[in-house]
Copies of this chain bind each other. A is one copy, B any other.
Amino acid sequence: MSRVRIHNFGISLDGFGTGEDQTLEAPFGHAGGRLMSWFMATSTFQAMQGATGGTTGFDDALAASWGPDIAVEIMGRNKFGPQRGPWTDDEWRGWWGDEPPFHTPVIVLTHHARPPIEMAGGTTFHFLDASPEEALTAARELADGGDVRIGGGVATARQFLAAGLVDLAHLAVVPIVLGRGERLWDGLEGLEERYTFETIVAPSGVTHLLLQRRP
């Protein structure tokens, strides 16, 4: 059974999944790397970069659940890049470098369709103007029975959670008070009625939440 999953989604104690003032140089705005530094430190992430080393504790064990069985990713346009409105620079091919870490088809949600971009390493970006439900249908066709990851950003994760389309969500609460940015929980009042919540704390101080949709 193909599942829809969110993994390694960092939020601050006050629930922000990204800071203010996103730019080309600062994808998370004033949050900088703070929401993802626990993940970047893991050997799972280091291996994704072709590097060795990194932490091998609880954070890493959880980080490793990111990849297996994922056949397609859906992401919001902001996770592809900071451009807004019609595409003006077709040469720039996203934040993820020549060989993005996805290695699967990626559906980028945007109101401005454009031809797919095939990258090295198996990642192809498809640009789709679609509702969450429509995007998921398209993703499942590409996934061929595999799982679909909702990759973010915040608005995209929130929309899929609000629509009840997510089966499993792994959130990582970082003990900082970010103060401003985009809140994951907005509009999700009563989510506990539709999802079970499990919680553990890693020695790093990161609190890992696992949400699973109630049967």
Q: Which residue of B lies closest to A176 (CB)?
A: B192
Fill in one digit per residue for A169-191: 1 if any B CB lies within 8 Å of its CB, else 0. Answer: 00000011111100101111111
CB < 8 Å neighbour of A201 from B177, B183, B201: B201
B201 engages A190 (CB within 8 Å)? no
Instruction: Give 5 A-B pairs besides A13-B15, A176-B192, A179-B190 with Cβ atoms closer than 8 angstroms.
Output: A175-B209, A177-B188, A179-B185, A179-B189, A199-B207
B189 engages A177 (CB within 8 Å)? yes
Residues of A within 8 A of B (CB): 13-15, 175-180, 183, 185-192, 197-201, 205, 207, 209
- The answer to whether residues A200 and B201 also contact, given A14-B185, A15-B14, A190-B179 and a CB cut-off of 8 A, is yes
List the B side residues contacting A207 at CB < 8 Å: 199, 201, 207
CA distance A205 to B211 in the complex (A): 12
CA distance A188 to B66 in the complex (A): 32
